[in-house]
């Protein structure tokens, strides 16, 4: 096997269903169909003919997606199985062996693994912890070369919850233009901003831009496995050709439900529910962390369902996560999954009581082992 193990996903797949408290979830407490849909919509669903449907995404769904971006139409959109498939087909469409990819770090490492498997050269530019996770754009500028094919961004960022300012986005565009590189922006957390203001997409800022989106995170519907890819029409058509080899299409039921979830009124209802949950949980989790004084250091996220925390204890992050999982049946993401030891990630988009109960288990553990 030539592809590196995607540690973050692998470890979650192995253990997230085997613990009492799974604090690794990076999205929001998911909806049930009954909570999401009206009775007549459920009836329509139960009478749906289970065919393939339109394989690049139903026209009503792509129309609904298009209104969330400036200057695009249905032809600029490929509907995918989750935004993870969007990442996969985008890399295969845009990159070739020997290309240079510069990626924002820390990051969801899927693109890193795919590009490595494809034989690309990878370089990292960093979000700096000491400046509240602001991007080091001088570093990005110093790294680009004539061989740079793609600058890979995650905005809002997993795991820090940092969102780029417009000025930072413009500067990234200028840097990409200077070497004629693509910007690929993973925007799956767009819509989960704590201040309620949906951030701008990179779409429309430069002609060599592709972005993803999806319903797994900000929309609390990961079980639909619905994502999308947006870019210039000819390139989206090429990504569709790759997608014929991966999964052919997302499910017809997901097309139908996704279109309803993205109708403006419903969309606002979903995003508001999730943002309220996030704001409320953040206060409670901060209170829990702050009781330990300097033990935990963090910059509160601007977006997304998680908190990335530095801890001042002499224990490796994988060991810490393993110990909490096996001793207390509570599961956190080790900073090692991001190449950042002495950090861990916890989800803050679940129900508050559940998160606090999980944190109680961590409290017991810290007392028993470290007398804290
Ligand atoms: C930044 C980011 N992109 C993509 C994904 C893939 O999500 P999905 O395929 O469920 O849309 C995740 C999942 O955690 C993520 O955090």
Closest atom, ligand 1, to C-alpha of 227: 11
Domain shared by 259 and 275, yes or no: no
Domain annotation covers residue 43? no
Is the link from the previous residue into 277 a cis peptide, with omega within 30 of 0?
no
Domain shared by 176 and 295, yes or no: no
Domain annotation covers residue 39? no
Domain shared by 99 and 126, yes or no: yes
Domain end, chosen from 263, 297, 313, is at 263
* Most ligand 1 atoms within 8 A of CB, residue of 82, 156, 185, 250 to mutate: 82
Cα 240 to Cα 247: distance, rounded to the nearest angstrom: 10
Sign of CA dihedral 8, 191, 353, 300: positive
Domain annotation covers residue 111? yes
What radius of gyration, in Å, describes the C-alpha atoms of the chain? 20
Q: Taking all residues of the chain, what is their mean pLDDT, rounded to a whole number?
A: 97
| Residue-range definition of the domain harbouring residue 153 | 51-263
Domain end, chosen from 248, 263, 278, is at 263
Phi-psi region of 268 (alpha: psi -120 to 50; beta: other; left: phi over 0): alpha
Predicted local distance difference test score (pLDDT) of residue 328: 98
Domain shared by 296 and 248, yes or no: no
Domain annotation covers residue 357? yes
Distance 130 CA to ligand 1 centre (A): 26
Neighbouring C-beta atoms of residue 365, cutoff 10 Å: 17
Predicted local distance difference test score (pLDDT) of residue 2: 87
The tens digit of pLDDT for each residue in 92-145 reads 999 999 999 999 999 999 999 999 999 999 999 999 999 999 999 999 999 999
What count of Cα atoms within 13 Å lies in the side-chain half-sphere of residue 303? 26
Closest atom, ligand 1, to C-alpha of 107: 1
* Most ligand 1 atoms within 8 A of CB, residue of 108, 153, 185, 223 to mutate: 108
Closest atom, ligand 1, to C-alpha of 85: 9
Predicted local distance difference test score (pLDDT) of residue 303: 97
Domain shared by 109 and 13, yes or no: no
Domain shared by 204 and 328, yes or no: no
Domain end, chosen from 208, 231, 263, is at 263
Specify whether the CB–CB gap between 184 and 208 falls below 8 A: no
Domain shared by 329 and 183, yes or no: no
Domain shared by 103 and 240, yes or no: yes
Domain annotation covers residue 62? yes
349: CATH: 3.90.1150.10
The tens digit of pLDDT for each residue in 157-211 reads 999 999 999 999 999 999 999 999 999 999 999 999 999 999 999 999 999 999 9
Domain shared by 296 and 360, yes or no: yes
Number of domains in the chain: 2
Domain shared by 162 and 14, yes or no: no
Domain annotation covers residue 341? yes
Q: How far is CA 142 from CA 102, 125, 152, 161, 302, in A?
A: 11, 9, 16, 25, 27
Structure-block tokens of residue 346: 């916890």
133: CATH: 3.40.640.10
What are all long-range contacts of 41-50, with beta carbons under 8 Å and residues at least 24 apart? 41/260, 44/256, 45/253, 45/256, 45/257, 48/252, 48/253, 48/256, 49/252, 50/252, 50/253
Domain shared by 220 and 245, yes or no: yes
The tens digit of pLDDT for each residue in 290-310 reads 999 999 999 999 999 999 999
Domain annotation covers residue 214? yes
Residue ranges lining ligand 1, Cβ < 6 Å: 26, 82-84, 108, 154, 158, 186, 188, 214, 216, 222, 227
Domain shared by 118 and 234, yes or no: yes
What is the value of pTM for the model shown? 0.97
Specify whether the CB–CB gap between 102 and 124 falls below 8 A: yes
Distance 212 CA to ligand 1 centre (A): 10
* DSSP letters spanning 21-32: EE----S-PPPP
């Amino acid at each position: 096997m030539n592809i590196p193990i995607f540690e973050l996903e692998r470890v979650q797949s192995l253990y997230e269903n085997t613990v009492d408290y799974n604090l690794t979830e990076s999205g929001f407490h998911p909806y049930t169909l009954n909570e999401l849909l009206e009775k007549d919509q459920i009836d329509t669903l139960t009478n749906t003919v289970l065919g393939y449907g339109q394989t690049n995404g139903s026209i009503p769904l792509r129309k609904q997606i298009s209104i969330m971006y400036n200057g695009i139409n249905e032809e600029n959109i490929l509907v995918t199985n989750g935004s993870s498939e969007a990442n996969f087909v985008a890399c295969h469409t845009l990159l070739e062996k020997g290309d240079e990819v510069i990626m924002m770090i820390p990051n969801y490492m899927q693109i890193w693994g795919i590009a490595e498997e494809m034989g690309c050269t990878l370089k990292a530019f960093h979000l700096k912890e000491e400046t509240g996770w602001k991007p080091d754009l001088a570093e990005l500028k110093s790294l680009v070369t004539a061989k740079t094919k793609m600058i890979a961004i995650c905005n809002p960022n997993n795991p820090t919850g940092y969102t780029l300012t417009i000025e930072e986005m413009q500067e990234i565009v200028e840097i990409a233009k200077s070497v004629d590189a693509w910007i690929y922006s993973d925007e799956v957390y767009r819509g989960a901003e704590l201040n309620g203001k949906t951030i701008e997409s990179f779409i429309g800022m430069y002609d060599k831009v592709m972005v993803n989106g999806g319903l797994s995170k900000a929309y609390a519907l990961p079980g639909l496995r619905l994502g999308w890819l947006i870019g210039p029409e000819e390139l989206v058509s090429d990504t569709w050709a790759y997608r014929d080899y991966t999964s052919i299409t997302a499910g017809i039921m997901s097309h139908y439900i996704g279109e309803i979830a993205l109708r403006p009124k419903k969309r606002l209802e979903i995003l508001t529910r999730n943002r309220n949950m996030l704001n409320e949980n953040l206060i409670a989790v901060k209170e829990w962390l702050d009781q330990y004084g300097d033990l935990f250091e963090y910059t509160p996220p601007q977006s997304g369902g998680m908190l990335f925390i530095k801890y001042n204890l002499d224990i490796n992050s994988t060991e810490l996560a393993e110990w909490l999982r096996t001793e207390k049946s509570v599961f956190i993401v080790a900073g090692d999954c991001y190449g950042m030891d002495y950090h861990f990630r916890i989800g803050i988009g679940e129900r508050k009581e559940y998160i606090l109960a999980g944190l109680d288990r961590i409290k017991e553990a810290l007392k028993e082992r470290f007398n804290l």
